[in-house]
Structure 1
C-alpha cells in the first residue's frame, strides 16, 4: 500500500508513476496540499474515480517544504486506511518527487523478510537537532499524555530521534499509533518547530524503548552515537559523487538521464528526487523501464541476505 502526501503540481508524473507500479491488490492513497491549483485537485480526483483502489482524501492540509502539517497528513492517511475495508500488511509513506525503484513483486519479497519490522531511519538527537524542538515545552510522557493507558504516562522525557519523514510501517505499528497512543499534544508541539518538523515523529516512535512500538528499534544505537539508515528512500546530496547529473535542489541531487544506469543496482525502495521540469526524459525512461520489469521481464533476483540482515531487522526487539 502506498500513501503520498503531495504539494506537487506534477499531475502527469503521478499518473505515469501509477501506470508503472499499479497492482490491483495494492491501495494508493493521496493527500493533497490545500494550496495546489484547483485543476490539480480535480485531476487527482478524476484519476481516483477510475480505480476501486485509488483514493484522494477529502481532507487537505497547507503543507510546506519545512514539513509543516506533514505529520497531520500522515495521521489522516493512516486513519483512513485503518477504517478501510482493505486487507494490508505494510504501508509506504512517500512525499513529493519520490519515485519507486522496486516492482511490486520485489516489494512483497522484501516485506515478507521484514516480518513486521518497520523500516524507518533513526539518528541520534544531536544538539543541532534539538534546536528544532521548543525546549520550554513539556516533553515528558505525562506532559504529552502520550499513552491512552494512563499508568504508562511517567514523568520521564521522551527520547528524540531524527530521520526521514517517509518510511515503511507495519500494520501493527499503524494500529498501535492509532489505538494505544494519544499523539494529539505531541503532534501539536512538534509543529511549533521552525524547520523539518516532520522528521522527528516516526523516528522517535520507532526508537524510544519506553514506547515499545511494534516492529520498533532500540535507542541503544542512538545512545552510542550511531544512526541507522532505512531502505525506503535514498537521496544523494551535493557532496555525494553519485550525482552524475550535477543538478541539485536544496542540496539534494535531481536524477537525470546520466543517473539511470545505476538505479537498478540500488537496494532501496524509492529515490528522491526526479523533477519533470528538470529532466522529463529521464522520468519517462525510468517509468518505462519499471513497467517493463513489472509486466514483461522475469523477476529480478534480489540479494535477500542483504534485506534479511539489515540492522533494524537484526535488532527487531518488540
Structure 2
C-alpha cells in the first residue's frame, strides 16, 4: 500500500517526509529505507515515535516531519498529511489547481467550534489506547485543564493542507507551543490542534470564519449512512469504512483530494482500480508525450481453464 501510494503521489518537484512507526518490524523499516534511498526528495523523519493513533504521538509525528521539511533544502508551498491507508482521487495538477483557485494561500482545516453543550471541565483525560486509526471520532467532552491563552477550542478533521508560513508559525509561536503541551493530556489532539490554531486571526493563512468546507479527505463514517453516503460496501473498522469495490463509484464522484480508508489485504482490487484510473488521468494531463514505460502493464484478473 505504501508503494502504491508513493507511486501515485510522487512528482520530482515535491518533497516527501515519511514517518515510519517506531513499533514497525525491522524488516518493514529496512524495506521503506531501501525505497526512500532511490529518491533525493524523499526521506524518513529524523525523529520517529511509537504512534498511538488516538494519542499525542500522532500529532507529534506530524510536527517532527514539518520541522524536517522546514529545514530541508527543498522549496515547498504547502504541506499535506497522509497516512498509509489513504489514496489520491485527484492528480497533483488537479490538487494544485484546487489550492490556487479555491484557497489562495489559505490553510484548509475543516472544523467547527466545540458544540455549545460541551463545556471545558476539569476531569481526568483518557490515555492513549488504540492501535487503530479512527478519524470518525467525536469531540472530547471534557478536558483536564483549561486551554492556554484563553484559546477557543475547535473540533475538526485530522487531515489538513497548510501553508509553509503557517507551519513556521506553529513551530515558533508561543501559543502554538503551549497548546502542543496542553494537547498531551487529551484524546485525539490532532482533531483539535490544527483547526484551533488556524482560527487565530493573526496566524498566516488563517481562516477564522471557516467551517467544514475544504475537500481534503473522502471518508465514510458509520453514523453518516443515508446522509453523507449510501453505506459502506466493504466493512467498518471502528466506525470508519474500509472500502470495497462497491464504494468505487462514490469515491470517484467525490470532490475530495484523497480518500480514506483502504486495506489491500481485504480487497486488493479496490486500490488497484483506483491506481490505474489515477495513472490514466496523470498521463492525459501530461505536458509532454507519454512514454510507453509510463503505462502500467496490462493484467488480467481472471483465470480461465480452456482444457
Q: Hey, what does 2:178 align to over in structure 1?
A: 185
**Aligned partners of 1:82, 1:21: CA distance in 2, in Å?**
20
Q: Report whether the alignment pairs 1:92 with 2:64.
A: no
Q: 1:43 aligns with which of 24, 31, 48?
A: 31
**Aligned partners of 1:229, 1:132: CA distance in 2, in Å?**
26
Instruction: Give the conservation status (yes or no) of the 8 Å contact 2:113–2:155.
Output: yes
Q: 1:198 aligns with which of 190, 196, 216?
A: 190
Q: Hey, what does 1:147 align to over in structure 2?
A: none
Q: Report whether the alignment pairs 1:242 with 2:230.
A: yes
Instruction: Give the conservation status (yes or no) of the 8 Å contact 1:173–1:215.
Output: yes
Q: Deviations over 1:120-156 (max 9, x none)?
A: 112221217353521xx35232xxxxxxxxxxxxxxx
Q: Hey, what does 2:139 align to over in structure 1?
A: 129
Q: Hey, what does 2:300 align to over in structure 1?
A: none
Q: 2:107 aligns with which of 118, 123, 138?
A: 118
Q: 1:257 aligns with which of 230, 245, 248?
A: 245
CA RMSD after TM alignment: 1.9
Instruction: Give the conservation status (yes or no) of the 8 Å contact 1:29–1:57.
Output: yes
Q: Report whether the alignment pairs 1:163 with 2:147.
A: no
Would you identify which runs of 4 or more consecutive aligned residues in structure 1 move more than 4 Å?
A: none
Q: 2:276 aligns with which of 248, 267, 288?
A: 288
SS in 2 for 1:131: coil
Q: Hey, what does 1:214 align to over in structure 2?
A: 204
Report how far residue 298 of structure 1 moved: 4.2
Give unmatched runs, 5+ long, in structure 2: 119-137, 287-307
**Aligned partners of 2:259, 2:155: CA distance in 1, in Å?**
19
Seen in structure 2, the aligned counterparts of structure 1 residues 65 and 71 have a Cα distance that, compared at 3 Å, is closer
Report how far residue 284 of structure 1 moved: 1.1
Instruction: Give the conservation status (yes or no) of the 8 Å contact 2:19–2:61.
Output: yes
Q: Hey, what does 1:140 align to over in structure 2?
A: 148
Q: TM-score, normalised by structure 2?
A: 0.79
Q: TM-score, normalised by structure 1?
A: 0.76
Instruction: Give the conservation status (yes or no) of the 8 Å contact 1:160–1:208.
Output: no
Q: Hey, what does 1:228 align to over in structure 2?
A: 212
Q: 2:52 aligns with which of 49, 59, 64?
A: 64
Q: Hey, what does 1:176 align to over in structure 2?
A: 169
**Aligned partners of 2:139, 2:8: CA distance in 1, in Å?**
37
Seen in structure 2, the aligned counterparts of structure 1 residues 40 and 125 have a Cα distance that, compared at 3 Å, is same
**Aligned partners of 2:40, 2:79: CA distance in 1, in Å?**
18
Instruction: Give the conservation status (yes or no) of the 8 Å contact 2:5–2:84.
Output: no
Instruction: Give the conservation status (yes or no) of the 8 Å contact 1:21–1:291.
Output: no
